[in-house]
């Protein structure tokens, strides 16, 4: 069985894909992955006519993993080619590079990285988009995630005598997100601690959604992330439109993963703070730092060896200061996944309801039902 892919290290053991190796001098794994989807969104909670169809290649990735010279010197490169992957939905220039990082392992418990990759932020983000149990991450991730950044990374697993594990993760990075241009902005500092009181999950399951491994004993991971992004230029730190002035931003994230006999719980809590979050240009237009709180909780159960049901409830709640500019949002969703080859080949169906400003009644015109069918296919 193939190892679950992680976005925090190179994937050295693959089941399929091109894998070329030469003694302990060289290894290259070449893999791809795509997600094709058909989605619908209604006009409102009451009016079920179709407001929007979402019918496209959502993700299309090529991934290279391996080592050169010595198994301690590893690399992980991921390119993305869909419109969304390249940030061309809203952004202005094509960004095919998602991950491009070199790792050096001092020992199996301590390694450092230099390059572009995911910051050690919220769990839902660090879980590869190939290991999700819903077709998209939650609205809370959309507003608060630390996403990817370019910089120096370090990962350390504390040696302990018992089963319990402590993992420390940290990064010093640009704070401006993927593929930044040279600039004169401050850096971003991220620290994360994870505590696994009952020991390691099977097959990297603390970073894969759904208990496909049917953990025979309860497994838990509790984590806390703190991020301080100095002189940030974007509305949501590493993401979002450009602010009219630089602002310091701080993000706190607490999250947990629990798995036991096919049951899974993923919970996340978020908070972003920034002094003076409102920026204005000379014409009086306004752009604000998205400050506030949010959470996402997902409960799932494998209903057969290859099928799963999952439920999500997520919310984002802006601080009063920016309420004229940003809305509260809530979503609930029901997800069914059929895992034909683990997360690598799966069929997914999601149904959900989203509402704004705490007004969840069906007649509200900014509310909507949504349904999405997605096929994930990869090696």
Catalog residues that contact a second copy under the rule CB under 8 A: 16-18, 20, 22, 25-26, 28, 30, 32, 34, 36, 38-39, 50-57, 60, 64, 68-69, 73, 75, 77, 79, 81-83, 86, 88-89, 93-97, 100-102, 114-116, 150-152, 173-174, 179-185, 187, 340-341, 344-345, 375, 377, 379
Q: Which of 19/271 has CB closer to a second copy?
A: 19
Q: How far is the CB of 265 from a second copy (least distance, A)?
A: 30
Q: How far is the CB of 298 from a second copy (least distance, A)?
A: 23
Q: How far is the CB of 38 from a second copy (least distance, A)?
A: 8
Q: How far is the CB of 117 from a second copy (least distance, A)?
A: 10
Query: What does the DSSP 8-state code read for residue 126?
Result: H
Task: Give 242's contacts (C-beta < 8 A, 6+ positions apart).
Answer: 233, 234, 235, 287
Q: Which of 113/294 has CB closer to a second copy?
A: 113
Q: Which of 375, 374, 376 is nearest to 40 (CA)?
A: 374
Q: Which of 22/161 has CB closer to a second copy?
A: 22
Task: Give 4's contacts (C-beta < 8 A, 6+ positions apart).
Answer: 131, 203, 204, 205, 207, 208, 342, 343
Q: How far is the CB of 193 from a second copy (least distance, A)?
A: 25
Q: Which of 43/321 has CB closer to a second copy?
A: 43
Q: How far is the CB of 358 from a second copy (least distance, A)?
A: 25
- Cα–Cα distances (Å) from 344 to 5, 39, 208, 301, in that order, read 10, 21, 12, 19
Q: Which of 133, 238, 127 is nearest to 189 (CA)?
A: 238
357 in Cβ contact with 41 (< 8 Å): no
3-state DSSP assignment of residue 79: strand
d(CA 195, CA 254): 12
Q: Which of 56/301 has CB closer to a second copy?
A: 56
Q: 């949002």: which residue's tokens? A: 329
Q: Which of 77/127 has CB closer to a second copy?
A: 77
């Amino acid at each position: 069985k193939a190892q679950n892919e992680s976005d925090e290290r190179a994937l050295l053991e693959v089941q399929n894909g091109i894998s070329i190796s030469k003694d302990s001098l060289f290894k290259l794994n070449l893999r791809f992955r795509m997600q094709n989807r058909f989605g619908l969104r209604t006009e409102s909670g009451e009016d079920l006519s179709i407001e929007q169809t979402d019918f496209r290649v959502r993700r299309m990735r090529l991934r290279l993993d391996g080592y050169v010279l010595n198994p301690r010197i590893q690399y992980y490169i991921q390119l993305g080619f869909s419109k969304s992957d390249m940030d061309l939905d809203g952004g202005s220039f094509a960004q095919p590079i998602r991950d491009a990082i070199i790792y050096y392992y001092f020992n199996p418990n301590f390694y450092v990285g230099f390059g572009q990759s995911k910051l050690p932020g919220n769990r839902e983000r660090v879980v590869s988009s190939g290991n999700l149990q819903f077709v998209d991450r939650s609205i809370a991730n959309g507003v608060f995630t630390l996403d990817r950044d370019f910089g120096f990374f370090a990962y350390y697993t504390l040696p302990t005598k018992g089963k319990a594990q402590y993992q420390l993760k940290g990064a010093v990075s640009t704070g401006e997100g993927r593929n930044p241009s040279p600039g004169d902005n401050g850096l971003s500092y991220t620290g994360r601690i994870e505590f696994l009181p009952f020991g390691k999950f099977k097959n990297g399951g603390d970073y894969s959604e759904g208990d496909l491994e049917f953990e025979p004993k309860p497994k838990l991971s509790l984590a806390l992330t703190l991020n301080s992004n100095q002189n940030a230029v974007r509305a949501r730190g590493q993401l979002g439109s450009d602010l009219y002035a630089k602002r310091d931003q701080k993000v706190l994230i607490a999250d947990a993963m629990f798995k036991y006999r096919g049951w899974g719980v993923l919970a996340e809590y978020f908070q972003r703070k920034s002094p003076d979050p409102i920026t204005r240009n000379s014409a009086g237009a306004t752009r604000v730092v998205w400050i506030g709180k949010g959470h996402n909780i997902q409960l799932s159960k494998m209903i057969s060896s290859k099928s799963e049901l999952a439920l999500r409830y997520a919310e984002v709640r802006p601080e009063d200061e920016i309420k004229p500019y940003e809305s509260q949002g809530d979503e609930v969703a029901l997800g069914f996944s059929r895992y034909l080859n683990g997360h690598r080949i799966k069929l997914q169906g999601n149904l959900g309801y989203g509402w704004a400003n705490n007004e969840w009644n069906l007649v509200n015109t900014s509310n909507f039902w949504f349904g999405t069918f997605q096929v994930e296919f990869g090696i």
